[in-house]
Structure 1
Amino acid sequence: IDALMRHRFGRKSEQLDADQFELALEEVEAALSQAELAMNKASKAPCERPRKTNRGALPAHLERIEQTVDIEEKACPCCGGALHQIGEDVAERLDVVPTTFRVLVTRRPRYGCRSCENAVVQAPAPARIVEGGIPTEALIAQVLVSKYADHLPLYRQAQIYARQGIQLDRSTLADWVGRAAWYLRPLRDHILERLRRSERLFADETTAPVLEPGRRKTKTGQIWAYACDDRPWGGSAPPMVAYVYAGDRKTERPEAHLHGFAGILQVDGYGAYAALGRRHQQIRLAFCWAHVRRKFYELAESSPVAADVLRRIASLYAIEDEIRGLSADERRDVRDQRSRPIVDDLYRFLEARGRQVSAKSRLGEA
């Protein structure tokens, strides 16, 4: 209060007359009331905001199970006359049926001849992915989708099944996966062959820990991915991707995977791809701007040069956003007119800066 008095009257509270003191108290009370009102509004604000709800229509392909909630007495509560329906309210809710196991029992009757008693006739047993095993094709597909699409390891799947009394060891599930992979391999090879005939491909590889039986440790394997998707550029071909495992990262791997390919190969800076381009003139390498940008992004906060490079690359990304979906000829024309000068200028900029920094520094490596 004394601080307010000095600000309002230039004197302490004990030096004010009665009227001035009353006026000062009113100002203090008014300020406190405004502060209290603001605090109440802030505390109530989250409750007063409209709650976000998903009111979209549920997909039409889902099964509809209808239930009717009706009145018991259909006599008018006023006069006792018969009621007739004048409308209804319909509400839909999304329901789920948890995974339910069931047992498919296959019976194959055997028939014999009463006359000769020599012939025994029986329909052949249906083919199975696991001969003599218990899983159906649907169960194996569920295991594969859970493992590779939903990233659910086999040991967790075994725990989920155990909750319903189904005891399946992880090694058993792994055997199912291996057998299913053997059946799916022709499909993978067919997709890879289709990819080799395309005009443009994307290639990349990543590490994967691989168990070494008997050594109680893992080794590092490589999973190579080859993909094509022309949908963002108006292409009509379906998107495809094939994964190929290899035990190492040697140069011979992509060469064997892409044997017979002729076209544009989009890659990162891995030397195996550069060697592939040198050995096979029909392969034209297109290096990835995202990989170029990554090392400069890591230095952008501490290096003005890296920040400048990012700004130039961002202008290229902006042009690509504008022309995505246009025909190939239209995109090429825009790139010649707008993108090429930016790239040429960036090339000269990097050449000049490259002579000024150490090649062993992080900026020099970038």
Structure 2
Amino acid sequence: MIAATDQLPDDIGVLKALVAHWAEQASAKDAALAEKDAELARVQGANARLWETLRQLRRAQFGRKSEKLDPDQLSLAMEETEQAIAETGATDETSNATLKASRKGPRSVNRGALPSHLPREEIVIEPESTACPCCGGAMHVMGEDRSERLDVIPAQFKVIVTRRPKYACRACEGAVVQARAPTRLIEAGIPTEALVAHVLTAKYADHCPLYRQAQIYRRQGVDLDRSTLADWVGKAAALLAPLQTRLFEILKTSPKLFADETRCPVLDPGRKRVKLGQLWAYARDDRPWGGSDPPAVVYCYAPGRGSEHVKSHLAGFSGILQVDGYSAYKDLASNRPASAPLILSFCWTHLRRRFYEIAVGGNAPLADAALAQIAALYKIEETIRGQSAEARRKVRQAKSMPLLDRFKSWFEKTLSLVPGGSKMAKAIRYALHHWDGLILFANDGRIEMDTNTVERSIRPLALNRKNALFAGHDRGAEHWGIVASLIETAKLNGVDPQAWLASILSRLVNGWPMRKIDELMPWAFAVHQKAAPVV
């Protein structure tokens, strides 16, 4: 570029050409700068998306999966605080006799009720002398102070010795009579059916792997290998399999089910690695609208997550299926014949989670607005929980439906204002794409807003997975599904799973007829327990 005006040419034509050349260079530089700015914006946008993806992956791997405060974590924190308070109180009472005396009265803290069915052992503490301190005469009982404390007898093993005397006739040679040996679950083995039920409950309800149970037994002087316990579990699962099959048949006669799936790592020795199977959960719980069918859940193991598995599981079921947005369920519904339709009701919790992941990063007013509108819908649900299906439908039509109509209009308007590739746009498109299934609850009082029912039923599987890491074999994963189905269904019906399993194992071992298998279901056991006289 020419630096001084005295160096400019005097010829007008040359000067114009020079100015045009400068303008062309400046335009080229501006275009190059604009291109660099665009590239910089693209790279910055991609970088922001990658950081957001990384944040979500970190949260998925190491963070909490729920947007709610984990009650178990809160309980753990409160335990430590309460222990510190108790320690401080005990120290103060030890050093201050007046304070100790002032606290001898009844405490306002909930100590827990002591059930009437527990055995009582009475201890009577007599004074050193019952002679009158004034005249020395005999004194009579005018009343008493009575208190109860809870004690525990550590788990004890006992050996049941079964004797079968042989009878012979002195007159008739070779005539011998002996009672038939009772049938056992583990032939020629040492456990009773009650002990096997204890092992199953500890593993699948209390999430205590077999090797830990073996360690506990060893402390009691009973030396059992983990492989021995595994053999018991496998034989029990084989015996219980028809019960799980029948339970699923009963569930599939329901007009509405929940479905979800969770990973189930399985050891693959041939490939020297762990393969990823799936436990598919199918649940029924009509208690929120006063339905009479008992709650239940069934877990089915499959080596994958494809739609062919859910299609096989739900063969014969037609009605409403409450699910998340996973494509396998959509494939299942779209390929159903008209004679056996399947209607999908989608989950508001899964939709809410999309906006929560945007809002949790901060400074996201649109996501906050979406969360507020979803919260308004849930607030209505709180007022109608436990009411009849028709009462719930009427309230939803009057209160929820207007909110849903406004919500959809808000989605459509907001979608036109946000960048098409943004997470907000993707969340809104998800909502609009699933809208018919999301608002289905407003027209049917039996339907819940979300799939939390089945997600709660999956939590025990996650705890077992955390403790056991993986199943050792596909059959082991199937056993997991069988026993977990029965135990979680018993818990849903308020039945002690160990007592129930001990009862049904004993009956099945002794030839319980399959035509009466419905009488072994947990809800039938619960009715029997209530009808049984209290001893």
| TM-score higher than 0.5 | yes
Match of 1:289 among 348, 366, 370: 348
Distance 2:110 2:135 in 1: 43
Q: How far does residue 214 in structure 1 lie from its aligned partner after superposition?
A: 5.2
Q: Which has the higher contact order (CA 8 A, sep 6+)?
A: 2
Match of 1:64 among 116, 120, 134: 120
Aligned to 2:358: 299
Distance 2:269 2:144 in 1: 66
Matched ranges for 1:337-356 at <5 A: 337-356=398-417
Given the alignment of the two structures, is residue 249 of structure 1 paired with residue 308 of structure 2, yes or no? no
Q: How far does residue 234 in structure 1 lie from its aligned partner after superposition?
A: 1.4
> Aligned in 2, Cα 1:110/1:211: closer, same or farther, shift over 3 Å?
farther
Q: How far does residue 266 in structure 1 lie from its aligned partner after superposition?
A: 0.4
Aligned to 1:105: 161
Match of 1:333 among 394, 419, 425: 394
Partner AA of 2:400 in structure 1: S
Aligned to 2:217: 161
Unaligned runs of 5+ in 1: 1-42
Matched ranges for 1:1-366 at <5 A: 53-213=109-269, 215-280=271-336, 281=338, 282-300=341-359, 301-358=362-419, 360-366=421-427
Distance 2:223 2:408 in 1: 62
Q: How far does residue 111 in structure 1 lie from its aligned partner after superposition?
A: 2.5
Distance 1:217 1:124 in 2: 49
Match of 2:283, SS state, is strand
Q: How far does residue 69 in structure 1 lie from its aligned partner after superposition?
A: 1.0
Distance 1:316 1:61 in 2: 44
Q: How far does residue 350 in structure 1 lie from its aligned partner after superposition?
A: 2.2
Distance 2:415 2:174 in 1: 91
**Number of residue equivalences:** 323
Q: How far does residue 125 in structure 1 lie from its aligned partner after superposition?
A: 1.5
Partner AA of 2:298 in structure 1: A
Partner AA of 1:227 in structure 2: A
RMSD of aligned residue pairs (Cα, Å): 2.3
Q: Deviations over 1:96-144 (max 9, x none)?
A: 1111011111111222333332233222221111111111111111111
Partner AA of 2:277 in structure 1: G
Q: How far does residue 235 in structure 1 lie from its aligned partner after superposition?
A: 1.6
> Aligned in 2, Cα 1:360/1:146: closer, same or farther, shift over 3 Å?
farther
- Range moving further from structure 2, 164-173 or 316-325: 164-173
- Range moving further from structure 2, 236-245 or 299-308: 299-308
Partner AA of 1:296 in structure 2: F
> Aligned in 2, Cα 1:216/1:79: closer, same or farther, shift over 3 Å?
farther
Greater share of helix residues, 1 or 2? 2
Match of 1:260, SS state, is coil
Q: How far does residue 73 in structure 1 lie from its aligned partner after superposition?
A: 2.4
Unaligned runs of 5+ in 2: 1-87, 93-98, 428-535
Match of 1:209, SS state, is strand
> Aligned in 2, Cα 1:218/1:124: closer, same or farther, shift over 3 Å?
farther
Aligned to 1:19: none
Partner AA of 2:230 in structure 1: A
> Aligned in 2, Cα 1:190/1:360: closer, same or farther, shift over 3 Å?
farther
Distance 1:211 1:128 in 2: 31
Greater share of strand residues, 1 or 2? 1
Match of 2:258, SS state, is strand
Distance 2:283 2:181 in 1: 39
Aligned to 2:494: none
Distance 2:223 2:270 in 1: 26
Distance 2:349 2:157 in 1: 46
- Range moving further from structure 2, 290-299 or 121-130: 121-130
> Aligned in 2, Cα 1:111/1:212: closer, same or farther, shift over 3 Å?
farther
Partner AA of 2:137 in structure 1: G
Q: How far does residue 275 in structure 1 lie from its aligned partner after superposition?
A: 0.9
Match of 1:86, SS state, is coil
Partner AA of 1:304 in structure 2: P
TM-score of the pair, normalised by structure 2: 0.57
Partner AA of 2:215 in structure 1: Q
Distance 1:138 1:285 in 2: 42
